[in-house]
Amino acid sequence: MTQSKTQKGFSLMELMIAMMIIAIIATLGFRQFRQFTARAHYLQSQDRVKTVREGLDQFYLKHGKYPDFGSFEAMVDNNSPLVKENLIPVGMAALDGFAQPFEGKSGKMGYELTCEGDPTNQDDFPKFTQRPGEITGANPAGGTKATTPAPAGPGK
């Protein structure tokens, strides 16, 4: 009597091929996840700088000069005139989306706010700086294009 053997389960080769396909898909998915996460951190950083920039501009419109600050941290501190006058929200972070400190200073005639961008991907998410009278916009790659001075009005 001959008994035929029936194969139950998968062969080692079939399992290896399935594992390779899963590994390739996971690698591609993780790369996309990292890219989207970096873009979200960069947009969050741009938003924080924009909020402080608008607060400084509102302070200037109200008082005719910019406040004196030696650091970005001093601008967002709860005792800052920007916070006390409700020009920026209370408890705003002094760190960008990549957990690096923003750089910033202001004086009577102007300010400069800087974010270092993504330390691991400066090509897509580069450093950006905001100053009074400059317009900055995002490019399709997620970074910023070069700042352009705003048109000067009469008497400027």
pLDDT in tens, 98-152: 999 999 999 999 999 999 999 999 999 999 999 998 866 544 344 444 444 443 3
pLDDT of residue 3: 60
pTM: 0.72
In a domain, 86, yes or no: yes
In a domain, 97, yes or no: yes
* pLDDT band at residue 154 using 50, 70 and 90 as cut-offs: very low
In a domain, 90, yes or no: yes
In terms of residue numbers, what domain contains 100? 23-139
Number of domains in the chain: 1
In a domain, 118, yes or no: yes
Could you write out the three-class secondary structure of 28-94? Answer: HHHHHHHHHHHHHHHHHHHHHHHHHHHHHHHHHHHHCCCCCECCHHHHHCCCCHHHHCCCCCCCCCC
Taking the C-alpha atoms of residue 150 and residue 73, their distance in angstroms, rounded to an integer, is: 27
